[in-house]
Amino acid sequence: MSPMPSVVEAGRWLRDGETTAVRLLEGALQRAANCEAQIHAFLTIDRERALETAARADADLADGIDRGPLHGIPIALKDNMCTRGVETTAASQILAGYRPPYDATVVSRLGEGGAVVVGKTNLDEFAMGSSTENSAYGPTFNPWDITRVPGGSSGGSAAAVAVGSSVAALGSDTGGSIRQPAALCGVVGMKPTYGTVSRYGLIAFASSLDQIGPLTRTVEDSALTLEVIWGHDPLDATSYSGDYPDPKAGLDRGVAGLRVGVVKELSGEGYEPAVESAMGEMVSRLEGAGVEVVEVSLPSFEIALSAYYLIAPAECSANLARFDGIRYGHRGQGSPE
C-alpha cells in the first residue's frame, strides 16, 4: 500500500544522489495531504520546520557529513514525546497548546542522527487505550480498512507508516501500545528491553513499564532506528549503562535453526478462533523455514493481566497528578472552594 521506500532504500537513494531529503519529505507530506482526511494519523504537522531540517540534511550530505542510517529520513513521533517549541498534547485537552521547553532524549538523538520529523501522531489520551479511539482530537482509522481501528495506543504512528506518510515512526509501549497497533496495521513494531531507550521527555504513563520503540516497514529498519535512539542517558535514572549489542547483528542469518517458544496458556478458552488458526499457520511457516518450535508453559500467565492492572493504574495515578493545572496546561474552572 505504502508508496514510501524503507529506511534502507531511502538511505541508498539519498547517498546515490537519486533523491534528496527534501524530496523524500515532500513525498511524505503529499501522502499525508491525500490521506489525512480518511486516516487522521497526525495531530500536528510542522511543515516549515520539517522542510528546514530536510534542507539541512541535504546540505550536510553535500558537504560530506553523514549522520548515519536515519540521515534525511522522514520520521513521525507519537505526540507524547516532548518536542521543543512544537505542541505536545498526548492527545489530551489538558495539554492543548503546551509547547515543551525541551526535547525528549529520543528527539535529540533523532536530530543528531539527521532524521527529519514529519509530525506528531495521534494516540489514545495519555497512551491509555488500545484502539486510538480515545483521543481528545478524534480517532485514527486503519489504512487497510477505514471501518476498523488501527490499534493503539500508538495507532497514529502505525497508520502513518502503513499508509506511507512517513518512512518510520516512534511509538511508546506500556502494555502493548507499539506491538499491537503495528500488528493491526501490518508494520514492524518493537518494544525494546526496559532501560535501553531513554524515557526522558516521554509523558509518563506507568514508569516501570513505559518504553519508546520503533514502528517501521521492515525488521532491518527497526534495527537501524533502534541503533539511533537507544543508549545510556544520564537524564533517565533507569537507563542501562552497560554495553549495547549491535542490533543489526544476525539480520542476514535468517530464522533457520532458531528455537521459538509457543506459550501454552495463549490458546484455548477466550481466544478468537481466527487468531488461533493464524497462529497455527505461522507455526507451520516457521517450521517450514527450519525453526524449532517448542511449547512452553508460563503458569503465572493467568495472573499477568491482574498484575498489569494494578501496577499500571497505580503508577499512572501518581504520574498524572502533575496535570493539576498549576505548572502547565489547562486549569479547570469551578473547582471546589
Partner 1 sequence: MPVEIDIEHVARLARLDLSAEELEGYKDQLGLILEHAARVQSLDAEPHAENAHPLGLFNSFRDDVVLPSLDRDEVLAAAPETAEGYFVVPPAMEGE
Contacts of 205 (CB under 8 A, 6+ apart): 80, 126, 127, 128, 172, 174, 312, 315, 316, 319
Q: Single out the catalytic residue among 153, 157, 165, 239.
A: 153
> Smallest gap, in angstroms, from Cβ of residue 101 to partner 1?
4
Q: Quick one: which segment of 114-122, 145-153, 189-197, 277-285 binds partner 1 (CB under 8 A)?
A: 189-197
Q: Which of residues 80-109 bind partner 1 (CB under 8 A)?
A: 98-102
Three-point CA angle 248, 251, 60, nearest 5°: 45
Contacts of 31 (CB under 8 A, 6+ apart): 3, 4, 163, 164, 165
Sign of CA dihedral 217, 223, 229, 230: positive
Residue 330 engages partner 1 in binding (rule: CB under 8 A):
yes
Q: Which of residues 308-327 bind partner 1 (CB under 8 A)?
A: 309-310, 325-327
Centroid of chain to Cα 270: 28
Residue 261 engages partner 1 in binding (rule: CB under 8 A):
no
> Smallest gap, in angstroms, from Cβ of residue 87 to partner 1?
11
Looking at the chain, list the stretches that DSSP marks H as alpha helix, in order from N- to C-terminal side: 7-15, 21-39, 47-62, 105-112, 155-163, 179-185, 219-229, 273-288, 304-319
CB-wise, 100 or 175, nearer to partner 1? 100
CB-wise, 171 or 195, nearer to partner 1? 195
> Smallest gap, in angstroms, from Cβ of residue 141 to partner 1?
31
Check if 153 is active-site.
Answer: yes
CB-wise, 60 or 87, nearer to partner 1? 87
Residue 1 engages partner 1 in binding (rule: CB under 8 A):
no
Q: Single out the catalytic residue among 130, 177, 222, 239.
A: 177
Q: Are the C-beta atoms of 48 and 15 separated by less than 8 Å?
A: no
> Smallest gap, in angstroms, from Cβ of residue 253 to partner 1?
23
Q: Which of 70, 80, 288, 283 is nearest to 166 (CA)?
A: 70
Q: Which of 253, 211, 249 is nearest to 229 (CA)?
A: 211
Q: Which of residues 112-171 bind partner 1 (CB under 8 A)?
A: none
Q: Are the C-beta atoms of 163 and 41 separated by less than 8 Å?
A: yes
Question: Omega of the bond prior to 130 within 30 degrees of 0, cis?
Answer: no
Check if 135 is active-site.
Answer: no
Residues 54, 60, 65, 66, Cα dihedral to 10°: 20
Q: Which of residues 18-57 bind partner 1 (CB under 8 A)?
A: none
Binding residue (CB under 8 A) for partner 1 from 242, 276, 281, 319: 242
With cell 495539554, the residue in question is: 95
CB-wise, 138 or 325, nearer to partner 1? 325
Binding residue (CB under 8 A) for partner 1 from 63, 243, 259, 300: 300
Binding residue (CB under 8 A) for partner 1 from 239, 247, 312, 316: 239
Q: Single out the catalytic residue among 78, 165, 172, 239.
A: 78
What are the residue numbers of the active site?
78, 153, 177
Q: Which residues make up the interface to partner 1 (CB under 8 A)?
A: 98-102, 193-196, 234, 237-242, 300, 303, 306-307, 309-310, 325-331, 335-336
